[in-house]
Amino acid sequence: MFAKNDILMNNTKSQALYSKGQQHLVGAVNSPVRAFKSVGGNPLFMERAHGSKIYDVDGNEYIDLVLSYGPMILGHGNNKVIEAVQKQVCTGFTFGASTENEIVLAEIVCNAFPGMDKVRFVNSGTEAVLSVIRLARAYTGKNHIIKFAGCYHGHSDALLVAAGSGLATLSIPGSKGVPADAVKNTLIAEYNNIESVKKHINECKDVAAVFIEPIAGNMGVVLPSDHFIKELREITKAAGILLVVDEVMTGFRSKFGGAQELLGIEADITCLGKVVGGGFPVGAYGSRNEIMEMVSPLGDMYQAGTLSGNPVAMAAGIATLTELKAQNPYEKFNQQAAIIEKALLDAATENGIALTVNRFGSMINPFFSAKKITNFTEAQECNTAQFTKFFWGLIENGIYIPPSQFEAWFLSSVISDEDMERIIKGINNAMKSI
């Protein structure tokens, strides 16, 4: 593990801000993964970003493969998004009333997802998922839900059990403050193990919904087998159980729409976030009319939010998705991800390091393991000490990745050939540092 004095780059200002932040912020951060607990050393504080680059307060430049965990798919500071946001800011920040742009963005989102007639905008992925728990129970009249170990659906009580992401990073199995009653109706299945789902369905006749990340991104990038994901759709439909597909991370990342279409399935309810707001706080959930018309004011399932459909976020979302559709960068993403995968595997082999790489579209993740990673248990068996050295090696070489073995890397449409050369060089140097 790297101690503070092992870091060769200048991070004096980041260290000073970390110390200052301890006084009035919890751990000097507002989200646990930013604390760098799993990789040692102090967190980096960022100052600005543009295009494919992000810059810390000490002036260090990095190629950004975090991209705010996905939403900056066009890179930072896209001119069309900035123009749309500036225009809206001058008109008004928030009204607590309806605006035309909510209708415009709703049409774009619904047209991108088969089977989605209506959508409700909220303020985060977490809020979207917790709203859908209530909606699924209202629609089915049942109470239990099934989730998969290692899949993270935000920090709402009912799903904050056997989660990945920050909980895996900090080796916390759950969270204090979550009462047993909050999770008593949550059943845990194993990702890529259809028998674990069948067992719950056979033993519990009160299951309202199954929640899944179509491509897991919070235990690292883990793909479902074709058999698993398609049989999951079949058995939930046969049992009258709603399949909720959480595309907060995967939405618009592998195609213009969702991963579910590429996987050959159709969700009953889809959860969205991140990219739909172009980097502003946005979440959404959508489904066919018969389900969405359960939601107030059309139905009796209550959910509300003063800032839902915030006009600035709607403007950013419209501009982002319009530009994304015009660019259609998905083939480029696949090519760049394949190049990065090869660079990772070649560098690992050259240095005698066991490594496997998973990727899907513009999401990619190396696991320090000789084993193919198909579920959370296998992900947890990775060599996190090697990942720590690799992380700091990349930082030293100007490549910014998530400070966790259990988070996906993301590509943006502005990554250039020169950036790719720097990424490959950085990977080679970082592997040597291990």
Tokens 């035309």 belong to: 100
Strand partners, 147: 188
> Counting beta carbons within 10 angstroms of the beta carbon of residue 190, is it exposed (0 to 12), middle (13 to 18) or buried (19 or more)?
middle
- The secondary structure of residue 51, as a DSSP letter, is B
Rg (CA), the chain: 21
Report the sign of the C-alpha dihedral through residues 394, 26, 250, 330, in that order: negative
Type of residue found at 170: L
Please tell me the number of Cα atoms within 13 Å of 168 on its side-chain side.
26
Q: Residue 408 in contact with residue 364, Cβ under 8 Å?
A: yes
Measure the CA–CA gap between 38 and 16, rounded to whole angstroms: 20
Residues serving a catalytic function are 152, 246, 274
Measure the CA–CA gap between 34 and 44, rounded to whole angstroms: 8
Name the 3-class secondary structure at 64. strand
Number of neighbouring beta carbons within 10 Å of residue 174: 13
How far is residue 423 CA from its own chain's centroid?
A: 22
Q: Residue 136 in contact with residue 208, Cβ under 8 Å?
A: yes
Strand order through the sheet with 207-212 = 118-122, 283-287, 269-273, 242-246, 207-212, 144-148, 186-189
Measure the CA–CA gap between 143 and 124, rounded to whole angstroms: 23
Residue 355 phi, psi dihedral angles, 5° rounding: -150, 140
